[in-house]
């Protein structure tokens, strides 16, 4: 008697199990969401802290905050950021995972190093001279919080909606005086060789 293949029934059972998991996950989501009117979290810039500088870079820490007004928490949320000098991007980072607890404010810390060489590269020759005559570099941070979060309470969780919020802020990043002096001496030295 020929042996029957078990592949087809196993495939059907696997598909049925996947469908059931999706249905139960959706049910949990709808039960949690039905229990409260979902509101979009707020997202704000708090501060930029200067951590220190060297001859090559300034180290900063941007602090952002997000308030979740809902009685359910949000998981699977990330923050991405970009730094710009005169609308030209010189640094970016992302996928900083955060969790927005129910009816709570979450502080988001973003460490960033402003490497002078990278800023000068995007600034171009004309702007480099202007930067050398200042004690700070004006930069802009654009940060985006987004996700397709998992909603949860103390007993269950589920997922099904997504959101994205953006905040921008301009900051002056200090350049140590000795770094500016070294750069000016290098420029003068280069000019003497030309003339």
Classify residue 80 by its DSSP letter. E
pLDDT of 121 above 90: no
Spatial CB neighbours of 19, under 8 Å, sequence gap ≥ 6 = none
Could you give all domains of the chain from N- to C-terminal order, each with its CATH number?
A: 40-180 (2.60.40.1820)
pLDDT at 26: 47
Q: Which of 8-12, 80-84, 169-173, 174-178 has the lowest mean pLDDT?
A: 8-12
Tell how far CA 191 is from the center of its chain.
41
Tell if the pTM clears 0.75, that is, is over it: no
pLDDT in tens, 54-106: 878 889 999 999 999 988 888 889 999 999 988 999 899 988 999 999 999 99
Q: Which of 61-65, 125-129, 156-160, 176-180 has the lowest mean pLDDT?
A: 125-129
Distance, in Å, from the CA atom of 31 to the CA atom of 27, rounded to the nearest integer, reads 6
| Number of helices followed by number of strands (H, E) in the chain | 3, 8
Over range 160-168, report the average pLDDT.
84
CB distance 152 to 28 below 8 Å: no
pLDDT at 73: 85
Spatial CB neighbours of 77, under 8 Å, sequence gap ≥ 6 = 97, 98, 99, 100, 145, 146, 147, 149
Residue 124's pLDDT band (cuts 50, 70, 90): confident
């Amino acid at each position: 008697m020929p042996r029957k293949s078990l592949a087809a029934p196993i495939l059907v059972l696997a598909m049925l199990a996947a469908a059931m998991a999706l249905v139960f996950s959706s049910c949990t989501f709808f039960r949690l969401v039905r229990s409260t009117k979902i509101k979009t979290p707020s997202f704000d810039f708090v501060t930029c802290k200067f951590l220190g500088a060297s001859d090559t870079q300034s180290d900063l820490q941007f602090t952002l905050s997000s308030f979740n007004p809902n009685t359910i928490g949000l998981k699977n949320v990330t923050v991405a950021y970009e730094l710009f000098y005169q609308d030209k991007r010189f640094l970016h980072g992302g996928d900083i995972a955060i969790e927005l607890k129910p009816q709570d404010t979450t502080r988001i810390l973003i460490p960033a190093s402003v490497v002078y060489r990278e800023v000068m590269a995007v600034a171009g020759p004309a702007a480099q001279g202007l930067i050398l005559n200042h004690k700070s570099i004006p930069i802009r941070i654009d940060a985006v919080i987004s996700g397709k979060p998992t909603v949860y309470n103390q007993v269950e969780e589920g997922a099904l909606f997504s959101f994205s919020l953006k905040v921008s802020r301009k900051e002056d990043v200090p350049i140590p005086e000795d770094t500016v002096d070294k750069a000016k001496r290098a420029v003068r030295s280069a000019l003497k060789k030309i003339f």
